[in-house]
C-alpha cells in the first residue's frame, strides 16, 4: 500500500470504511462494471475489511476491560 493510502486509511473509521465497502460491493455486483475495474475494487475491499476488523477488535478489547473492571468490583 502506498504511503498516502496508508495515511488515508489511518484516518478512516469503521463507519466510513463500511460505507465505502458497501459502495464497492454494489459496484462489483453491478453487471455493467468492467471486468478490469473489479480487481482494484476487490483489493480496496480487503483493505477496508481489515480496517473494520481492527476497529471492532479495538472496541471489543475496550468492552472486555470494562467488564473485567466491573466484575472485579462485584
- pLDDT at residue number 16: 93
Work out whether the CA dihedral 69, 70, 73, 74 comes out positive or negative. Answer: negative
Instruction: Give the tens place of pLDDT for each residue, 10-22.
Output: 567 889 999 999 9
The model's pTM is 0.71
DSSP state of 33: S
Amino acid at each position: 500500500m502506498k504511503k498516502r493510502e496508508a495515511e488515508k486509511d489511518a484516518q478512516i473509521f469503521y463507519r466510513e470504511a463500511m460505507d465505502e465497502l458497501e459502495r464497492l460491493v454494489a459496484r462489483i455486483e453491478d453487471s455493467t462494471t468492467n471486468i478490469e475495474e473489479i480487481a482494484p475494487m476487490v483489493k480496496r475491499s480487503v483493505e477496508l475489511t481489515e480496517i473494520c476488523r481492527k476497529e471492532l477488535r479495538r472496541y471489543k478489547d475496550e468492552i472486555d476491560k470494562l467488564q473485567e473492571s466491573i466484575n472485579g468490583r462485584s
